[in-house]
Chains A and B, each alone.
Chain A
Amino acid sequence: GDSVTQMEGPVTLSEEAFLTINCTYTATGYPSLFWYVQYPGEGLQLLLKATKADDKGSNKGFEATYRKETTSFHLEKGSVQVSDSAVYFCALSDSDNFNKFYFGSGTKLNVKP
């Protein structure tokens, strides 16, 4: 079945450092890919998405490119801030059934001043 694998955390960075969180997926068709973010004590919020190969999703300085050849959707940001500290989830929706949704295990990011 479909699945999402994320790099384990926590990831600890200093402010203004470059961020990469790796995400790879397994899917039979052509899924849509997402990054959701969860701030402490809150529900998840959509950060960005990409619906087809080579699409780049971007939002709030974060970017991720849908790479079908490597089945990856890595999250990047050029300069992180303390306010970016959160848990980041990579996810996919099944192209055969857009009602089914799969999350990775989440990566906690700590940004220190």
Chain B
Amino acid sequence: EAQVTQNPRYLITVTGKKLTVTCSQNMNHEYMSWYRQDPGLGLRQIYYSMNVEVTDKGDVPEGYKVSRKEKRNFPLILESPSPNQTSLYFCASSLHHSNQPQHFGDGTRLSIL
């Protein structure tokens, strides 16, 4: 089954404790992207990747890092999380770029205390 898998689904942690949210897709997609969803703001793009070792900033990259060492994986790293990063996070992938249908994971709800 074609899917985008995120882990964990839920996480409560404390300010400053580094965390990683994993994202994996099994569709051999080149393009992957991270979004955060906040009430009243919709989804905002954090980072995207066009292919292995090629990443770039979206609209709200501050406080986040990403890497793309393998085609299927695109982890989101919060080196020193802060309460304003409390949000619902979605990973998505598409064949080549965002102009094509994006497949979304089920989301990761992060709470930073």
**B104 touching A45 by the CB < 8 A rule?**
yes
Residue B75 interfacial (CB < 8 Å) = no
**B99 touching A51 by the CB < 8 A rule?**
yes
**A101 touching B98 by the CB < 8 A rule?**
yes
Residues of chain A within 8 A of B106, CB atoms compared: 41-43
**A103 touching B42 by the CB < 8 A rule?**
yes
Residue B74 interfacial (CB < 8 Å) = no
Contact of A99 with B31 at beta-carbon distance under 8 Å, contacts A43-B4, A44-B104, A51-B99 already known: yes
Q: How far is the CA of A35 from the CA of B38 in the complex (A)?
A: 18
**A100 touching B42 by the CB < 8 A rule?**
no
Q: How far is the CA of A109 from the CA of B106 in the complex (A)?
A: 20
Q: In angstroms, how far is the closest chain B Cβ from the Cβ of A103?
A: 4
Residue B113 interfacial (CB < 8 Å) = no
Q: How far is the CA of A46 from the CA of B90 in the complex (A)?
A: 14
By the criterion of a CB under 8 Å from any partner CB, how many residues of chain B are at the interface? 26
Q: In angstroms, how far is the closest chain A Cβ from the Cβ of B27?
A: 14
Residue in B45, B99, B102 whose Cβ sees the most chain A Cβ within 10 Å: B99
Residues of chain B within 8 A of A93, CB atoms compared: 97-99
Residues of chain A within 8 A of B97, CB atoms compared: 93, 98-99
Task: Give the dominant DSSP class at A's interface.
Answer: strand
Taking a contact as CB atoms closer than 8 A, the residue among A32, A102, A106 that contacts B99 in the complex is A32
Residues of chain B within 8 A of A98, CB atoms compared: 97-99
Q: How far is the CA of A44 from the CA of B40 in the complex (A)?
A: 16
Residues of chain B within 8 A of A103, CB atoms compared: 35, 42-44
**A104 touching B42 by the CB < 8 A rule?**
yes
Contact with A along B36-66 (1 / 0, CB 8 A): 0000111111001010000010110000000
Residue A58 interfacial (CB < 8 Å) = no
Taking a contact as CB atoms closer than 8 A, the residue among B4, B43, B59, B107 that contacts A89 in the complex is B43
The residues of A with any CB-CB pair to B shorter than 8 Å are 4, 6, 32, 36, 41-46, 49, 51, 89, 93, 98-106
